[in-house]
Amino acid sequence: MNSTSKPNYDPEYYALLEKLQALDFVLVELNLFLDTHPDDLASIQQFNQLTQERTQLANHFQQLYGPLQNFGRAYSKFPWQWSEPPWPWQV
C-alpha cells in the first residue's frame, strides 16, 4: 500500500478523529484565552476537564487505530504502525 492510498476504515475512525480535532481546537482557544485571563477559574476547570477528555479519547483512538503522533509521543504495536496510511494528518 503506498502512502497516498486510503484503506477502508470504519466510520468510528473518522468520528473519533473529528472529535479529537474539535477538542484540540477548543483547547487551543482556551489556552489563548487563559494567557490573558489567568484568574478565570471556570475556564481553567474547563481546560483541565477537556484535557482529561482529550487524553482519554486519544488513548482510546491509539488502541484501536495506532499512534497519533510520532517521535516518542505514542506507542506502536507490532509490526511498526507508521508504515500504514492514512496517518491522522492526512485525513
Indicate whether 74 belongs to any domain. Answer: no
Bond preceding residue 86 cis, omega within 30 of 0: yes
Indicate whether 30 belongs to any domain. Answer: yes
- 19-49 tens-digit pLDDT: 999 999 999 999 999 999 999 999 999 999 9
User: What pLDDT sits at residue 82?
Assistant: 66
Cα 75-81-87 angle, rounded to 5 deg: 100
Indicate whether 36 belongs to any domain. Answer: yes
Query: Are residues 47 and 34 in contact, defined by beta-carbon separation less than 8 angstroms?
Result: yes
Indicate whether 29 belongs to any domain. Answer: yes
Indicate whether 2 belongs to any domain. Answer: no
Domain limits for position 22 = 11-69+86-90
Burial category of 57 from C-beta neighbours within 10 Å (exposed 0-12, middle 13-18, buried 19 and up): middle
Cell of 64: 484501536
Number of domains in the chain: 1
